[in-house]
Amino acid sequence: MVRPPLGGFCAPGFAGVRTAFARNFTAHGDLGAAVTVLRDGVPVVDLWGGHADAARTRRWERDTLVNVYSTSKGMTALCAHLLVDRGELDLDAPVAQYWPEFARGGKAALPVRWLLSHRAGLIAPRAPLPLPAAYDHDRVCAALAATEPWWEPGTAQGYHAVTFGYLVAEVVRRITGRTAGAFLRTEIAGPLGARVLLGTPPAEHPHCADMVGQLDARLLAARHPGFPCPPLPSLAAHPLAAAALSLLSVPTGDVNSPAYRAAEIPAGNVHASAHGLATVYAALGGGTLVSPGTLAAMRRPQGRPGEPDLAMGPLAPPGTEVRWGLGYHLNTLGRAGPNPRAFGHGGAGGSYAFTDPENGLAYAYVMNRYGGGTTGDDPRHTGLVAAVYEAVGAQR
Protein backbone atom coordinates (compact mmCIF):
# COMPACT_ATOMS: atom_id res chain seq x y z
CA MET A 1 0.00 0.00 0.00
CA VAL A 2 1.36 3.43 -0.98
CA ARG A 3 1.15 5.78 1.95
CA PRO A 4 0.24 9.39 1.11
CA PRO A 5 2.56 12.26 1.92
CA LEU A 6 1.82 13.69 5.38
CA GLY A 7 3.00 16.97 6.87
CA GLY A 8 2.65 18.97 10.05
CA PHE A 9 3.18 18.18 13.72
CA CYS A 10 1.61 16.90 16.92
CA ALA A 11 2.56 18.18 20.36
CA PRO A 12 3.87 15.65 22.91
CA GLY A 13 1.05 13.38 24.01
CA PHE A 14 -0.98 13.81 20.81
CA ALA A 15 0.78 11.20 18.66
CA GLY A 16 -2.41 9.15 18.66
CA VAL A 17 -4.05 11.83 16.54
CA ARG A 18 -1.35 11.39 13.90
CA THR A 19 -1.99 7.64 13.95
CA ALA A 20 -5.74 8.20 13.49
CA PHE A 21 -5.10 10.73 10.72
CA ALA A 22 -2.84 8.31 8.82
CA ARG A 23 -5.43 5.55 9.30
CA ASN A 24 -8.00 7.72 7.54
CA PHE A 25 -5.93 7.41 4.36
CA THR A 26 -5.16 3.69 4.64
CA ALA A 27 -8.49 2.44 6.02
CA HIS A 28 -11.16 5.08 5.40
CA GLY A 29 -10.46 6.30 1.89
CA ASP A 30 -9.18 9.83 2.46
CA LEU A 31 -7.61 11.40 -0.63
CA GLY A 32 -6.53 14.74 0.83
CA ALA A 33 -7.30 16.13 4.27
CA ALA A 34 -6.17 18.24 7.21
CA VAL A 35 -6.91 18.36 10.92
CA THR A 36 -6.06 21.09 13.41
CA VAL A 37 -6.57 21.21 17.17
CA LEU A 38 -5.86 24.26 19.30
CA ARG A 39 -5.72 24.11 23.08
CA ASP A 40 -6.01 27.42 24.87
CA GLY A 41 -5.30 29.02 21.51
CA VAL A 42 -2.05 27.12 20.93
CA PRO A 43 -1.81 24.48 18.18
CA VAL A 44 -1.28 20.97 19.56
CA VAL A 45 -2.21 19.22 16.29
CA ASP A 46 -1.69 20.64 12.82
CA LEU A 47 -1.60 17.88 10.21
CA TRP A 48 -2.23 17.71 6.50
CA GLY A 49 -1.64 15.15 3.82
CA GLY A 50 -2.61 13.43 0.63
CA HIS A 51 -3.59 15.17 -2.57
CA ALA A 52 -5.77 18.07 -3.64
CA ASP A 53 -7.01 16.41 -6.85
CA ALA A 54 -8.25 13.02 -7.98
CA ALA A 55 -5.27 12.53 -10.29
CA ARG A 56 -2.92 13.02 -7.31
CA THR A 57 -0.88 15.65 -9.12
CA ARG A 58 -1.15 18.31 -6.39
CA ARG A 59 -0.13 17.72 -2.81
CA TRP A 60 -2.34 18.95 0.00
CA GLU A 61 -0.52 21.76 1.82
CA ARG A 62 -1.15 23.55 5.12
CA ASP A 63 -2.84 26.46 3.34
CA THR A 64 -4.94 24.33 0.94
CA LEU A 65 -8.55 25.50 0.83
CA VAL A 66 -11.53 23.19 0.34
CA ASN A 67 -15.28 23.50 0.12
CA VAL A 68 -16.67 22.57 3.55
CA TYR A 69 -20.37 22.42 2.64
CA SER A 70 -22.55 23.04 5.70
CA THR A 71 -19.62 23.55 8.03
CA SER A 72 -20.03 26.98 6.40
CA LYS A 73 -23.16 27.59 8.50
CA GLY A 74 -21.11 28.05 11.65
CA MET A 75 -19.25 30.93 10.00
CA THR A 76 -22.39 32.61 8.64
CA ALA A 77 -24.16 32.27 11.99
CA LEU A 78 -21.15 33.83 13.70
CA CYS A 79 -21.54 36.95 11.54
CA ALA A 80 -25.05 37.38 12.96
CA HIS A 81 -23.89 36.77 16.52
CA LEU A 82 -21.27 39.49 16.28
CA LEU A 83 -24.09 41.88 15.41
CA VAL A 84 -26.10 40.60 18.36
CA ASP A 85 -23.12 41.16 20.63
CA ARG A 86 -22.76 44.73 19.35
CA GLY A 87 -26.44 45.51 19.95
CA GLU A 88 -27.22 45.87 16.25
CA LEU A 89 -29.39 42.73 15.93
CA ASP A 90 -32.19 41.55 18.22
CA LEU A 91 -32.87 37.84 17.76
CA ASP A 92 -36.41 38.23 19.06
CA ALA A 93 -37.27 41.08 16.69
CA PRO A 94 -39.20 40.27 13.51
CA VAL A 95 -37.01 39.59 10.50
CA ALA A 96 -39.17 42.16 8.68
CA GLN A 97 -37.87 44.86 11.00
CA TYR A 98 -34.55 44.58 9.14
CA TRP A 99 -35.83 43.18 5.83
CA PRO A 100 -39.29 44.69 5.15
CA GLU A 101 -40.04 42.60 2.05
CA PHE A 102 -39.82 39.47 4.20
CA ALA A 103 -43.22 40.23 5.78
CA ARG A 104 -45.04 38.71 2.80
CA GLY A 105 -46.53 35.23 2.96
CA GLY A 106 -47.70 35.58 6.55
CA LYS A 107 -44.17 36.15 7.91
CA ALA A 108 -44.55 39.64 9.40
CA ALA A 109 -44.00 38.46 12.97
CA LEU A 110 -41.43 35.71 12.32
CA PRO A 111 -38.41 36.39 14.61
CA VAL A 112 -34.76 36.26 13.57
CA ARG A 113 -34.20 33.52 16.16
CA TRP A 114 -36.17 31.03 14.05
CA LEU A 115 -33.91 31.61 11.05
CA LEU A 116 -30.91 30.55 13.10
CA SER A 117 -32.62 27.57 14.73
CA HIS A 118 -34.13 26.04 11.56
CA ARG A 119 -37.68 26.72 12.76
CA ALA A 120 -38.82 29.24 10.12
CA GLY A 121 -40.43 26.74 7.76
CA LEU A 122 -38.52 28.20 4.81
CA ILE A 123 -36.62 25.14 3.66
CA ALA A 124 -37.22 26.08 0.02
CA PRO A 125 -38.97 28.55 -2.27
CA ARG A 126 -42.40 27.31 -3.35
CA ALA A 127 -41.05 26.81 -6.90
CA PRO A 128 -37.56 25.31 -7.39
CA LEU A 129 -34.99 27.73 -8.74
CA PRO A 130 -32.78 26.79 -11.70
CA LEU A 131 -29.05 27.19 -11.97
CA PRO A 132 -27.42 29.70 -11.91
CA ALA A 133 -29.92 31.23 -9.46
CA ALA A 134 -27.89 29.83 -6.55
CA TYR A 135 -25.16 32.31 -7.47
CA ASP A 136 -27.64 35.22 -7.44
CA HIS A 137 -28.19 36.21 -3.82
CA ASP A 138 -30.83 38.80 -4.64
CA ARG A 139 -32.91 36.37 -6.69
CA VAL A 140 -32.93 33.69 -4.00
CA CYS A 141 -33.75 36.19 -1.26
CA ALA A 142 -36.60 37.67 -3.29
CA ALA A 143 -38.04 34.18 -3.76
CA LEU A 144 -37.78 33.42 -0.05
CA ALA A 145 -39.31 36.76 0.93
CA ALA A 146 -42.35 35.89 -1.19
CA THR A 147 -42.62 32.31 0.12
CA GLU A 148 -45.30 31.13 2.50
CA PRO A 149 -43.67 28.83 5.10
CA TRP A 150 -43.97 25.08 4.61
CA TRP A 151 -45.11 24.69 8.24
CA GLU A 152 -46.28 27.08 10.93
CA PRO A 153 -43.07 28.87 11.98
CA GLY A 154 -41.81 28.00 15.43
CA THR A 155 -43.80 24.79 15.77
CA ALA A 156 -41.20 22.41 14.31
CA GLN A 157 -37.57 22.22 13.29
CA GLY A 158 -36.40 21.25 9.83
CA TYR A 159 -32.89 21.66 8.49
CA HIS A 160 -32.70 24.61 6.07
CA ALA A 161 -29.81 23.03 4.17
CA VAL A 162 -29.32 25.77 1.58
CA THR A 163 -31.76 28.55 2.47
CA PHE A 164 -30.34 29.05 5.99
CA GLY A 165 -27.41 30.92 4.52
CA TYR A 166 -29.36 33.28 2.31
CA LEU A 167 -31.80 34.10 5.10
CA VAL A 168 -29.18 34.85 7.75
CA ALA A 169 -26.81 36.57 5.32
CA GLU A 170 -29.56 38.88 4.08
CA VAL A 171 -30.27 40.05 7.64
CA VAL A 172 -26.54 40.73 8.04
CA ARG A 173 -26.50 42.66 4.77
CA ARG A 174 -29.58 44.72 5.65
CA ILE A 175 -27.92 45.83 8.91
CA THR A 176 -24.34 46.34 7.74
CA GLY A 177 -24.60 47.01 4.01
CA ARG A 178 -22.07 44.21 3.47
CA THR A 179 -22.45 40.68 2.24
CA ALA A 180 -21.79 37.89 4.71
CA GLY A 181 -18.60 37.09 2.81
CA ALA A 182 -17.32 40.64 3.15
CA PHE A 183 -18.32 40.79 6.81
CA LEU A 184 -16.64 37.44 7.54
CA ARG A 185 -13.47 38.61 5.82
CA THR A 186 -13.19 42.03 7.45
CA GLU A 187 -14.59 41.35 10.93
CA ILE A 188 -13.57 37.75 11.69
CA ALA A 189 -11.23 35.86 9.37
CA GLY A 190 -9.05 38.81 8.36
CA PRO A 191 -8.25 40.06 11.87
CA LEU A 192 -7.57 36.48 13.01
CA GLY A 193 -5.40 35.65 9.99
CA ALA A 194 -7.67 32.67 9.31
CA ARG A 195 -7.94 31.14 5.84
CA VAL A 196 -11.74 31.05 5.77
CA LEU A 197 -13.39 32.52 2.67
CA LEU A 198 -17.00 32.95 1.59
CA GLY A 199 -16.81 34.06 -2.02
CA THR A 200 -13.33 32.80 -2.92
CA PRO A 201 -11.48 35.20 -5.25
CA PRO A 202 -10.00 33.78 -8.46
CA ALA A 203 -6.47 34.35 -7.19
CA GLU A 204 -7.14 31.70 -4.51
CA HIS A 205 -8.65 29.10 -6.85
CA PRO A 206 -5.28 27.42 -7.54
CA HIS A 207 -5.07 26.77 -3.78
CA CYS A 208 -8.48 25.02 -3.72
CA ALA A 209 -8.70 21.25 -3.50
CA ASP A 210 -11.14 19.53 -5.83
CA MET A 211 -14.01 17.67 -4.21
CA VAL A 212 -14.19 14.06 -5.37
CA GLY A 213 -17.86 13.16 -5.23
CA GLN A 214 -20.47 15.77 -4.37
CA LEU A 215 -23.94 16.09 -2.96
CA ASP A 216 -26.49 15.88 -5.76
CA ALA A 217 -29.72 14.14 -6.70
CA ARG A 218 -27.89 11.08 -8.04
CA LEU A 219 -26.01 10.52 -4.79
CA LEU A 220 -29.17 10.97 -2.73
CA ALA A 221 -31.08 8.52 -4.94
CA ALA A 222 -28.27 5.98 -4.63
CA ARG A 223 -28.24 6.22 -0.84
CA HIS A 224 -32.00 6.52 -0.42
CA PRO A 225 -33.85 4.67 -3.22
CA GLY A 226 -36.95 6.54 -4.28
CA PHE A 227 -35.55 9.90 -3.17
CA PRO A 228 -37.86 12.48 -4.80
CA CYS A 229 -36.89 15.60 -6.70
CA PRO A 230 -38.72 18.93 -6.44
CA PRO A 231 -41.20 20.29 -7.23
CA LEU A 232 -43.29 18.74 -4.45
CA PRO A 233 -46.68 20.18 -3.55
CA SER A 234 -46.48 19.59 0.20
CA LEU A 235 -44.47 17.95 2.95
CA ALA A 236 -47.02 15.13 2.93
CA ALA A 237 -46.27 14.27 -0.70
CA HIS A 238 -43.43 11.88 0.20
CA PRO A 239 -41.70 10.71 3.41
CA LEU A 240 -38.53 12.47 2.20
CA ALA A 241 -40.30 15.57 0.86
CA ALA A 242 -38.80 17.95 3.42
CA ALA A 243 -35.31 16.59 2.82
CA ALA A 244 -35.68 16.89 -0.95
CA LEU A 245 -37.01 20.43 -0.77
CA SER A 246 -34.28 21.49 1.66
CA LEU A 247 -31.40 19.99 -0.33
CA LEU A 248 -32.42 20.36 -3.98
CA SER A 249 -34.71 23.36 -4.51
CA VAL A 250 -31.77 25.79 -4.92
CA PRO A 251 -29.25 23.68 -6.88
CA THR A 252 -25.64 24.75 -6.58
CA GLY A 253 -24.04 22.97 -9.52
CA ASP A 254 -20.46 21.75 -9.90
CA VAL A 255 -18.67 22.50 -6.63
CA ASN A 256 -15.28 22.53 -8.40
CA SER A 257 -16.24 25.20 -10.92
CA PRO A 258 -14.86 28.76 -10.79
CA ALA A 259 -18.43 30.10 -10.65
CA TYR A 260 -19.25 28.05 -7.56
CA ARG A 261 -16.04 28.96 -5.76
CA ALA A 262 -16.43 32.68 -6.45
CA ALA A 263 -20.10 32.82 -5.43
CA GLU A 264 -21.41 33.41 -1.93
CA ILE A 265 -23.65 30.50 -0.94
CA PRO A 266 -23.54 31.21 2.79
CA ALA A 267 -24.94 27.87 3.97
CA GLY A 268 -22.61 25.72 1.95
CA ASN A 269 -19.59 27.07 0.04
CA VAL A 270 -17.12 28.48 2.51
CA HIS A 271 -13.66 27.42 1.38
CA ALA A 272 -11.31 27.01 4.31
CA SER A 273 -8.25 25.30 5.69
CA ALA A 274 -8.51 23.22 8.84
CA HIS A 275 -6.18 25.65 10.58
CA GLY A 276 -8.39 28.56 9.54
CA LEU A 277 -11.59 27.02 10.89
CA ALA A 278 -9.94 25.94 14.14
CA THR A 279 -8.53 29.45 14.57
CA VAL A 280 -12.00 30.98 14.34
CA TYR A 281 -13.51 28.45 16.75
CA ALA A 282 -10.63 28.96 19.19
CA ALA A 283 -11.31 32.70 19.21
CA LEU A 284 -15.03 32.05 19.67
CA GLY A 285 -14.63 29.59 22.54
CA GLY A 286 -11.85 31.66 24.08
CA GLY A 287 -14.06 34.71 24.40
CA THR A 288 -12.30 37.06 22.00
CA LEU A 289 -15.13 37.30 19.45
CA VAL A 290 -18.30 37.58 21.54
CA SER A 291 -19.20 38.19 25.17
CA PRO A 292 -19.86 35.34 27.62
CA GLY A 293 -23.59 36.05 27.48
CA THR A 294 -23.72 35.78 23.70
CA LEU A 295 -21.57 32.62 23.77
CA ALA A 296 -23.96 31.02 26.26
CA ALA A 297 -26.99 31.96 24.16
CA MET A 298 -25.45 30.51 20.99
CA ARG A 299 -25.39 26.99 22.45
CA ARG A 300 -28.69 27.06 24.28
CA PRO A 301 -31.14 24.45 22.87
CA GLN A 302 -33.87 26.02 20.74
CA GLY A 303 -36.19 23.04 20.48
CA ARG A 304 -37.73 20.34 22.64
CA PRO A 305 -35.79 17.25 23.76
CA GLY A 306 -36.41 14.43 21.33
CA GLU A 307 -38.06 16.70 18.77
CA PRO A 308 -37.66 15.30 15.24
CA ASP A 309 -36.01 17.28 12.50
CA LEU A 310 -38.39 17.22 9.56
CA ALA A 311 -35.66 17.43 6.91
CA MET A 312 -32.55 15.86 8.40
CA GLY A 313 -34.21 13.26 10.62
CA PRO A 314 -35.24 10.84 7.84
CA LEU A 315 -31.68 10.85 6.45
CA ALA A 316 -29.79 10.54 9.74
CA PRO A 317 -28.61 7.22 11.19
CA PRO A 318 -31.10 5.48 13.50
CA GLY A 319 -31.08 6.93 17.00
CA THR A 320 -29.68 10.27 15.94
CA GLU A 321 -31.07 13.23 17.86
CA VAL A 322 -30.72 16.50 15.99
CA ARG A 323 -30.69 19.44 18.40
CA TRP A 324 -30.01 22.98 17.32
CA GLY A 325 -28.61 25.94 19.14
CA LEU A 326 -28.58 29.28 17.35
CA GLY A 327 -26.97 28.20 14.09
CA TYR A 328 -24.97 25.30 15.54
CA HIS A 329 -25.16 21.57 16.18
CA LEU A 330 -25.41 20.80 19.86
CA ASN A 331 -23.28 17.86 20.96
CA THR A 332 -26.12 15.45 21.69
CA LEU A 333 -24.33 12.26 20.60
CA GLY A 334 -20.75 12.99 21.62
CA ARG A 335 -19.53 13.56 18.07
CA ALA A 336 -17.71 16.63 19.33
CA GLY A 337 -16.16 14.73 22.24
CA PRO A 338 -17.44 13.98 25.75
CA ASN A 339 -18.45 17.53 26.71
CA PRO A 340 -22.18 17.93 26.00
CA ARG A 341 -21.69 21.70 25.87
CA ALA A 342 -19.25 21.59 22.96
CA PHE A 343 -20.81 22.91 19.76
CA GLY A 344 -20.02 23.56 16.11
CA HIS A 345 -21.15 22.40 12.69
CA GLY A 346 -20.46 19.63 10.21
CA GLY A 347 -20.82 19.49 6.48
CA ALA A 348 -21.94 17.06 3.81
CA GLY A 349 -18.99 14.97 2.80
CA GLY A 350 -17.44 14.74 6.25
CA SER A 351 -15.89 18.04 7.38
CA TYR A 352 -16.51 19.12 10.98
CA ALA A 353 -15.44 21.98 13.24
CA PHE A 354 -16.29 22.80 16.84
CA THR A 355 -15.26 24.50 20.04
CA ASP A 356 -15.19 23.01 23.54
CA PRO A 357 -14.75 26.08 25.78
CA GLU A 358 -14.71 24.11 29.04
CA ASN A 359 -11.64 22.17 27.87
CA GLY A 360 -10.10 25.09 25.96
CA LEU A 361 -10.24 23.13 22.69
CA ALA A 362 -11.00 24.04 19.10
CA TYR A 363 -11.01 21.42 16.36
CA ALA A 364 -11.41 21.28 12.59
CA TYR A 365 -11.19 18.46 10.06
CA VAL A 366 -11.54 19.06 6.31
CA MET A 367 -11.20 16.68 3.37
CA ASN A 368 -11.91 16.35 -0.35
CA ARG A 369 -13.22 12.79 -0.74
CA TYR A 370 -16.97 12.89 -0.16
CA GLY A 371 -17.93 10.58 2.67
CA GLY A 372 -20.16 11.01 5.73
CA GLY A 373 -22.70 13.69 6.43
CA THR A 374 -23.62 16.81 8.31
CA THR A 375 -24.47 14.92 11.51
CA GLY A 376 -20.78 14.19 12.10
CA ASP A 377 -21.01 10.39 11.99
CA ASP A 378 -18.17 9.95 9.50
CA PRO A 379 -15.58 7.47 10.92
CA ARG A 380 -12.74 9.71 9.76
CA HIS A 381 -13.92 12.54 12.01
CA THR A 382 -15.06 10.40 14.92
CA GLY A 383 -11.72 8.56 15.01
CA LEU A 384 -9.82 11.83 15.13
CA VAL A 385 -12.01 13.24 17.90
CA ALA A 386 -11.63 10.09 19.98
CA ALA A 387 -7.85 10.36 19.67
CA VAL A 388 -7.90 14.04 20.65
CA TYR A 389 -9.83 13.42 23.85
CA GLU A 390 -7.79 10.34 24.70
CA ALA A 391 -4.74 12.60 24.61
CA VAL A 392 -6.45 15.29 26.67
CA GLY A 393 -7.59 12.76 29.26
CA ALA A 394 -4.10 11.29 29.59
CA GLN A 395 -2.69 14.73 30.41
CA ARG A 396 -5.03 15.39 33.34
Summary count for the chain: helices (H), strands (E): 14, 10
Distance spanning both ends of the chain, measured CA to CA: 37
Note whether 396 and 22 are within 8 A (CB). Answer: no
Burial label for 334, CB within 10 Å (0-12, 13-18, 19+), is: middle
Find all residues with CB under 8 Å of 162, minimum gap 6, and list them.
124, 134, 246, 247, 249, 250, 252, 265, 267, 268
Catalogue the long-range contacts made by 220-223 (C-beta closer than 8 Å, 24 or more residues apart). 220/244, 220/247, 220/248
Torsion, CA 61, CA 63, CA 65, CA 71, rounded to 10: 110
CB hemisphere CA count around 177 (13 angstroms): 0
d(CA 181, CA 198): 5
H/E stretch holding 8 reads strand 6-10
Catalytic positions: 70
Strand partners, 10: 45
